[in-house]
Amino acid sequence: MQDDKTVVASNLTTDATALPQHIAAAIAIDAGRAIADTGATSIFIMDGVDVDNKRVSKKPLKINLPDGNVVISTHRCDIEIPGLPSILTGHIVHHLAIASLIGIRPLCKAGCTVIFDDLKCEVIYNNAVILRGLKDPSTDLWTLPIPRKRVGTTPGENLLPRPGPCIGRAPHQSEHPALVCFAHSIRT
């Protein structure tokens, strides 16, 4: 079980004020969406996001952030993706300031294939797309919806439409090239 290990959150800082003010103000990821993060080892949810089955974590995670800080998760929640037979666990972290993270690792461990291209990110299970996300224009990062259990849901309710061509400019150019501060690499 992963609760007694230190994990990695690769794309976030604990403090939005650590970013230049014009960049922090330009980042506008909806609370119901999360960055699809290939460097995160778990699913990390910002405090205040509407989640299913929130409960106090008996064994909180220690999370290494790219800015060198270590934070602790406080709660756990269920991430139930329609079309996926298992329920994933999300870890609520009060100190996340920009966005929640959906680690690609737990999706792949659950049997999913995740495909990224220039416009979208698709999570596939048993040859069916069960989640689809697009690039967020304020960060140029792929985001996925944070699934919530709702009566009568079907996988189609969590899918975004396939993106069409961008009109008037090259696809998803970042207006804030200084967002390189989101990049982080570690050696294992």
**78-90 tens-digit pLDDT:** 999 999 999 999 9
Q: Evaluate whether residue 160 is within a structural domain.
A: no
Q: Evaluate whether residue 163 is within a structural domain.
A: no
Count up the domains in the chain and report the number: 1
What would the two tokens of residue 17 be?
Answer: 């004020």
Question: Which residues lie closer than 8 Å to 135 by C-beta, 6 or more apart?
Answer: 118, 119, 120, 141, 142, 143, 172
Distance CA 93, CA 182 (A): 18
**16-54 tens-digit pLDDT:** 444 444 444 456 688 889 999 998 889 999 998 989 999
Q: Evaluate whether residue 134 is within a structural domain.
A: yes
Q: Evaluate whether residue 138 is within a structural domain.
A: yes
Using an 8 Å Cβ cutoff, are 101 and 41 in contact? no
44 forms bridges with which residues in the sheet?
Answer: 91, 101
What is the rounded average pLDDT of the residues 137-155? 73
Q: Evaluate whether residue 161 is within a structural domain.
A: no
Question: Which residues lie closer than 8 Å to 183 by C-beta, 6 or more apart?
Answer: none
* Per-position b or e across 160-171, b if 16+ CB within 10 A of its CB: beeeeeeeeeee
For residue 143, pLDDT beyond 80: yes
For strand 113-116 and strand 120-125, is the pairing parallel, antiparallel, or unpaired?
antiparallel
**152-186 tens-digit pLDDT:** 334 444 444 444 444 444 444 434 333 333 333 34
**98-135 tens-digit pLDDT:** 889 999 999 999 999 999 999 999 999 999 999 999 99
Q: Output the pLDDT for position 17.
A: 43
Distance CA 39, CA 42 (A): 9
Helices (H) and strands (E) in the chain, counts: 2, 13
Distance CA 114, CA 43 (A): 15
Q: Evaluate whether residue 187 is within a structural domain.
A: no
* Per-position b or e across 102-111, b if 16+ CB within 10 A of its CB: bbbbbbeeee
Q: Output the pLDDT for position 165.
A: 46
**14-25 tens-digit pLDDT:** 444 444 444 444
Q: Output the pLDDT for position 9.
A: 54
Name the residue with higher pLDDT: 97 or 24. 97
Range of the domain at 113: 2-155+168-182
